[in-house]
Amino acid sequence: MRVLADTSAWSLLLRRGTAGHLLAPAAQALREYLEGDAAVFLTGIVYQEVLQGFRSEPRRQELVRKLEPFELLQPSRATHQRAARLMDRCLRRGVIVSTVDVLIAQVALERGCVLVTADADFHAIARCVRLKVVPEAS
């Protein structure tokens, strides 16, 4: 299985402090994929957003090392074109989502990835296209 986790899933899994975040469905799903035999990927923007979430440079460098094994799925020019059409499709259905989320969703679609997220916007996108989102919307 191919898995693309968005920023919200990584943030929940990597957060320190309270233990409650580890019980979040997206964190549990990502942990299961990481511990299983799934191929887990990042996109450049998710990688950047996750790193931006850590203000301590030593912690950020630790995270850089931990995320090094995960291949970055880079969007092509055609990916961006299809993402623009996906945005149009969403808007025609009354679904308003961010440009970044549409691009991440398009990368997941093109690369045949399940998208792990805690962000409701991806569930909204999935109502417009055949995007597999985990965990399922409640």
38 has a pLDDT exceeding 60: yes
Q: In this predicted structure, what is the pLDDT of residue 15?
A: 82
Q: In this predicted structure, what is the pLDDT of residue 109?
A: 98
Q: In this predicted structure, what is the pLDDT of residue 17?
A: 56
pLDDT in tens, 73-107: 999 999 999 999 999 999 999 999 999 999 999 99
The reported pTM is 0.92
Model confidence band, residue 110 (pLDDT cutoffs 50, 70, 90): very high
Q: In this predicted structure, what is the pLDDT of residue 117?
A: 97
Q: Which two tokens stand for residue 123?
A: 């569930």
43 has a pLDDT exceeding 80: yes
State the DSSP string of 31-94: HHHHHTT-EEEB-HHHHHHHHHT---HHHHHHHHHHHTTSPB----HHHHHHHHHHHHHHHHTT
Name the segment(s) of the chain with CATH classification 3.40.50.1010. Answer: 77-132
Mean pLDDT of 65-75: 96
Which CATH code for domain 77-132?
3.40.50.1010
